[in-house]
Amino acid sequence: MREPVELRRQRILSVVQSRGAVKVRVLAAELDVSVVTIRRDVEELTRAGRLRRGHGVARPVVDAAEPVPVPAARTAEQAGDGGAVAIVVPERHSYLYETLHGARTVLEESGMRIALHIAPQSAGAERPLVERALADGAHGLLIAPRWRNARSEELDYGWLAEVGVPTVLMERRPRPGSALHALDSVCSDHWYGTHLAVDHLVALGHRRIVLAARDDSPTARTIRAAFAQIAADRPEVEDWSVVLSSPTAVPGPGSPSAAVRVQNAPAPAEGTAPDLAALLRERGATAAVLHGDVDALMLVQRMAESGVQVPRDCSVVAYDDVVAALGSTPLTAVAPPKAEIGRAAAELLLYRLTGPAGTTGPVRRTELLPALKVRGSAQRVTPAKN
């Protein structure tokens, strides 16, 4: 899916504002577009007064000197003073872009101005964006940090707890007892979503199930833990295992290896795609839950190349439902309420900013339930003929 021009230019601004001067060829490599495209974007952003252009370099309008101080929180009466609501989401994250659009709808209908910031993939990228947004007058914050591993999540706890303006986490649930435990949050109940996937397969007679999942986001880690618990607790499930859905789906430096094996499932060699067809044959598995959508479509394609057809030889349930329905075999999928998460988060933030007791009411940790979209990639087990 082609990225909208405005989103790409916002990503350029985010990188430049967080790092200072950045070479055009570096931006092109990181954003995975041509140097010509980046050069044209930088020229347009310079013409609009949002960047400065040098010889092969993009520079911020104002060079960063000292860290930007976080301003004091604003009152509800100040909510209409022209300041914006800042939204911070990771780059290249179609799942959270749907959440973003849900939030945007609510905020625009309320008349709130939005300042969108796209965080690059580098560690700690969200903090300078938030600090800059607050220095520019943002009086509320909606944020979905990338949190590729537990360490990066913990490093954000301190500063994010002290932002000083009403803040709502989107599709993120901080560790219990952490500094962010008492921060407003709205997210999907991924335990329930995983339950829907397993329950659907069990109801179709499947007793040996594999989870191929990512391990580089809070959602992925929740799904992996939930699957292990649910499969172990279901007496109908005779065998289960967990493997990586992609060689790139690892949590990054400072975390345990994402290829840790569960139930003796073989881990793929570093940098290689998992051989799901071989694992299914080895385990005698007849079904798989695949996270996320793009990985799921690629795994289904590789299984077909190995002679394993979906759903004839293996029933599949995908998790995310961003593009699961678009494959040559439309995939049954667990669909978290992505847009609804954004809408609920924006409504909660508006309540904090404008409600009569918004700034003093109890902290809210809201969970919305995913749904199962049945499309035929999972079928009932056919009893073996003697």
Is residue 67 over pLDDT 60?
no
- Distance (Å) of CA 175 to CA 72, 125, 172, 269, 338: 26, 20, 10, 31, 21
pLDDT band (50, 70, 90) for residue 231? very high
Is residue 55 over pLDDT 70?
yes
The pTM of the full predicted model, rounded to 2 decimals, is: 0.74
Helix ranges restricted to H, the chain: 5-19, 24-31, 35-47, 94-110, 126-135, 150-161, 190-203, 218-233, 276-283, 293-305, 338-354
Interatomic CA distance for residues 165 and 300, integer angstroms: 45
Interatomic CA distance for residues 386 and 383, integer angstroms: 9
pLDDT the model gives residue 50:
85
Tens-place pLDDT, residues 263-291? 444 444 444 567 899 999 999 999 999 99
Residues 6+ apart with CB under 8 A from 87: 100, 103, 104, 114, 115, 116, 117, 141, 142, 143
Q: What's the rounded mean pLDDT across residues 72-96?
A: 65
SS3 318: strand
Q: Tokens standing for 20?
A: 């200072």
Closest listed residue to residue 310, CA positions, set 291, 326, 327: 327
Picking from 7-21, 63-77, 372-386, which range would have the lowest pLDDT averaged per residue?
63-77
Tens-place pLDDT, residues 88-143? 998 877 888 889 989 999 999 989 999 999 998 787 889 999 999 999 999 999 99
Closest listed residue to residue 73, CA positions, set 142, 138, 21, 152: 138
Q: Tokens standing for 84?
A: 């914006």
- Give percent of the chain above pLDDT 90: 50
How many CA atoms within 13 Å lie on the side-chain side of 337? 18
Tens-place pLDDT, residues 167-188? 999 999 988 888 899 899 999 9
pLDDT the model gives residue 225:
95
Q: What is the mean pLDDT of the chain?
A: 84
